[in-house]
Amino acid sequence: MIENISPIDGRYSKQTEVLQNYFSEFALIKYRVFVEYQYFIALLDENIAPLDGFDREEIPAIQQLAVSFNRQNALEIKEIEKTTNHDVKAVEYFIKSQFDKQGWAEWKEMIHFGLTSQDINNTAIPLSIKDALHKVILPNLDSLLVQLNNQAQEWKMIPMLARTHGQPASPTRLGKEWMVFIERIENQISQLRSIPIHAKFGGASGNMNAHAVTFPDHEWLKFAENFVTEHLGLTRSFYTTQIEHYDQLAAMCQCIGRINTILIDFCRDIWQYISIEYFKQKTVAGEIGSSAMPHKVNPIDFENAEGNLGIANALFHHLAEKLPISRLQRDLTDSTVLRNIGVPFAHSLIAYNSVMKGLSKVILNQTAVDKDLDANWMVVAEGIQSILRREGYPQPYEALKELTRGKANIGQEDLVRFIDQLEIKDNIKEELKKITPFNYTGLVF
C-alpha cells in the first residue's frame, strides 16, 4: 500500500476498498464475463438455430460460471490478453475454454456472436456504475442525510445570528440552516435516481448488421431491447454508433457533481462556524491538531472532504464534457477515460465519510452563539421598521438607518430609548420592545 501512487489505493484504501467490487480491473473483467454469459443465455431463449440441441437444463450451470468467477479466472484472462492484445477478445477466448471444459464446444462459436467489444464494455461498465451507485454511493448519502436531519431536529429551536455578505443580519435558526443543505441534497438525489442508466448494444456500427444478415427473419431489435432491459436491468440507447453516446452518464456525473458542490458549500460554512466558535470539536486521545501548537483542534475532516470533493468534481466534469464526444462512428478516447470512472466515485466516498466523521465530532457552543446574538441588537431593526410601516409611521427605514447603520455596540437599551421617543401608541411601543435577537427568527420549520 505504501508504494501506491494514488491515495485511493494507499492512504484511503480502507475507505475505498468497497468500490473495488465495481471499478477495479478485476471488476471490469467480471462484469464483461457476466454480460457474455447473459448474452449466450438470451440467445438460447430466442431458439437461434445453431443452438438447437443445447440442453436448456444446463442454463443454471452457465449462470453458476458467471457467479463463481474469481481472481484466478481473471488472471487467466489477463494471460490470454498478452497474446491477443485485446481485452474483450481475451474474455471471449476464456469463455470458449470454459465451454470446452463443460462439454459445450459444439456451441461455443455463438459466444460473442455478432458483437463488437463495445457491446460488452458499454453494458458491463454501466452495470458496474449502477451497482456502485445503488449499493455504495446512495446508501452513504442516505446515511449522511440521516445525520444531518438528526442534528437539524436537535438544533431546531436554537436561534443564531445570520450573516449576509459576512455582516450580522436578521437572526435564523441553526436547525433551519441545516435544512437548507438537506433540501438541496435531497433534490439532487431525487434527480440522480431518475436518470436512466443507458447501455449500447447494436453491433459494430450500432445497426446490428451481423445479426440481421445472418438471421434476417429474426426480430433482433426486439431481442436487443429485451436483453438490455430484462437480462441486465439497464436502458438501451436505440440509435448509437459503435459506442454508447454517454449523454445519460454525463448527466449522472453532473448530478453527482452538484451534490458534491452542495457539500463543499456546507463544509465551508461549518468550517466558518467552527472558526467563530459556534461549534467545538470532540478531542480524541492521542490525536494531534498541530505539530507546533498543542491547543489546536483543527476542522480537518471538513477540510479533507472539501479537497476530495474538488478532485472528484474535476474528474466528473471532464467525464461529462469528454465522453459524449467521439469522432464519427468511433474513436478510442472514451476507453482510457472510462477506465478512470471509479476515481471520482472513490474521492466522493472519501469525502462523504469525512463529512460524517466531522459531524460526529462537533459540539454546539451555545454560549458563543448566544453571545453573538446579544452583541448585535441592531439586527432587529428590520422587524421594528416593518411594524412601523404597518402603522403608517413616516420614513421608518430611514429612522432605523440613522440609528444603526455602520455603528457598533447598539444594545437593547439603545433600541428601548429609540422606541420610547417614537410618536406611536404605547401598545405598539410594547410590541416593538418584545422583539429581541433571540425571538426574531421568523417561522420555525
* Residues assigned a catalytic role: 165, 290
* C-alpha cell read off for 419: 422606541
CA 18 to chain CA centroid, nearest Å = 16
Q: What are the C-alpha distances in Å from 329 to residues 249, 269, 305?
A: 18, 47, 40
Q: How far is 114 from 215, CA to CA, in rounded Å? A: 11
Report yes or no: 91 and 120 within 8 Å, Cβ to Cβ.
yes
Measured in degrees and rounded to the nearest 5, phi and psi for residue 363 equal -125, 125
Q: Which of 107, 113, 101 is nearest to 51 (CA)?
A: 107
Query: Residue 208: CB partners within 8 Å, gap ≥ 6?
Result: 114, 202, 220, 221, 224
Q: Which residues contact 289 (CB under 8 A, 6 or more apart)?
A: 295, 296, 297, 298, 300
Q: What is the C-alpha to C-alpha distance for residues 54 and 92, in angstroms, rounded to an integer? A: 19
